[in-house]
């Protein structure tokens, strides 16, 4: 099928800036939610709330789908939202929101890797240099400690590397496997298909309802997660899929250039400590992403 052209109501760079602000703030919102809820509760809440918000829209979009779309959109929901929501929540139990935001800059590298492996996308030798440089920066971040020392690898950093791999695969999947669907259709139906699993897990296998009735800060934390679900999961995913449609997966994933600025700003305001090796790791990652994106 041919792609459905998306209306360019706003220039791509404005969408990019909006995404950087929204997603750069998501890490501090996760941190606030973790003050009350367990990481699996935060992940399930994020997915569940976003699904509840978008299911009414999804129901109006079902007429656009054929049978094959349901499986493809279910996978898009898993890779683009469901799995990363849990991975980020677990990772931030042992990582600051600033470092989580910095590590998220690996998404464009995974976009290139999966594009080359599975979607016949070509890349130049300089891209390999960029990939190696960026992953070196990620390893440095995983080894860095708040006291300024280097020690054993923090395996929780690898959870964000895995989440970025999910994002990179999903970018290519959305661009090349459902090009005929609009961004709002993709986002709303993907979350409608995966969201019920989050709701079932939250209500059946966690202490969510007990905490809501007993913990004094529960409603405040729930508000942060609902804001996370509305903006970072629902609204931002729609914007992101639109950006993928009107540009390229690589251009869209370059939002991660800007996100660390926002996430680090929120982290510093919240009292987080960043040391030299954190900045060096970020510089290596961004330098590698820059090289991988060079057109000449």
Nearest residue to 166 (alpha-carbon basis) of 94, 99, 84: 84
Domain membership flag for residue 3: no
Here the tokens at position 241 are 């899929």
Cβ-proximal residues to 236 (8 Å cutoff; 6+ apart), any chain: 19, 22, 23, 26
d(CA 171, CA 169): 5
What pLDDT, in 10s, does the model give residues 32-41? 999 999 999 9
Query: What average pLDDT does range 267-289 have in this prediction?
Result: 78
pLDDT at 74: 97
pLDDT at 34: 96
Question: What is the band of 122 on the pLDDT scale with cuts at 50, 70, 90?
Answer: confident
170, pLDDT greater than 90:
yes
Q: What is the pTM of this model?
A: 0.83
Residue given tokens 């998404």 in the structure block? 107
Cβ-proximal residues to 74 (8 Å cutoff; 6+ apart), any chain: 190, 193, 194
Question: What is the band of 293 on the pLDDT scale with cuts at 50, 70, 90?
Answer: low
d(CA 182, CA 16): 18
Domain membership flag for residue 2: no
Alpha-carbon distances of 198 from 26, 48, 177, 202, 280, rounded to whole Å: 19, 5, 25, 6, 37
Query: What average pLDDT does range 157-176 have in this prediction?
Result: 91
Which structural domain, as residue segments, surrounds residue 124?
12-293
Domain membership flag for residue 136: yes
Domain membership flag for residue 269: yes
Q: How many domains does the chain have?
A: 1
Domain membership flag for residue 7: no
What pLDDT, in 10s, does the model give residues 95-118? 888 788 878 878 877 888 898 888
| CB-based contact 31:212 (threshold 8 Å) | no
d(CA 283, CA 270): 22
Could you tell me how far CA 287 lies from the centroid of its own chain?
A: 20
What pLDDT, in 10s, does the model give residues 43-60? 999 999 999 999 999 999
């Amino acid at each position: 099928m041919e792609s459905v052209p998306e209306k360019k109501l706003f220039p791509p760079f404005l969408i990019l800036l909006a995404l950087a602000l929204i997603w750069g703030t998501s890490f501090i919102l996760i941190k606030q939610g973790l003050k009350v809820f367990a990481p699996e509760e935060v992940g399930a809440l994020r997915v569940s709330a976003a699904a509840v918000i978008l299911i009414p829209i999804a129901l109006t979009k079902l007429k656009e789908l054929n049978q094959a779309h349901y499986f493809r959109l279910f996978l898009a929901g898993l890779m683009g939202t469901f799995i990363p929501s849990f991975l980020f929540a677990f990772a931030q139990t042992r990582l600051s929101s600033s470092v989580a935001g910095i590590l998220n800059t690996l998404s464009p590298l995974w976009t290139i890797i999966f594009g080359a492996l599975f979607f016949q996308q070509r890349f130049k030798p300089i891209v390999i240099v960029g990939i190696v440089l960026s992953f070196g920066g990620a390893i440095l971040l995983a080894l860095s400690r708040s006291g300024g020392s280097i020690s054993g690898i923090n395996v929780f950093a690898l959870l964000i590397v895995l989440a970025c791999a999910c994002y990179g695969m999903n970018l290519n999947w959305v661009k090349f496997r459902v090009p005929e669907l609009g961004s709002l259709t993709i986002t709303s139906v993907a979350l409608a298909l995966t969201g019920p699993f989050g709701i079932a897990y939250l209500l059946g296998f966690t202490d969510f309802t007990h905490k809501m009735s007993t913990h004094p800060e529960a409603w405040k934390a729930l508000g942060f997660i609902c804001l996370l679900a509305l903006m970072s999961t629902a609204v931002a995913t729609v914007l992101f899929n639109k950006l993928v449609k009107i540009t390229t997966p690589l251009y869209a994933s370059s939002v991660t250039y800007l996100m660390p600025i926002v996430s680090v700003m929120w982290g510093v305001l919240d009292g987080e400590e960043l040391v030299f090796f954190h900045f060096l790791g970020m510089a290596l990652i961004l330098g590698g992403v820059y090289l991988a994106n060079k057109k000449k």
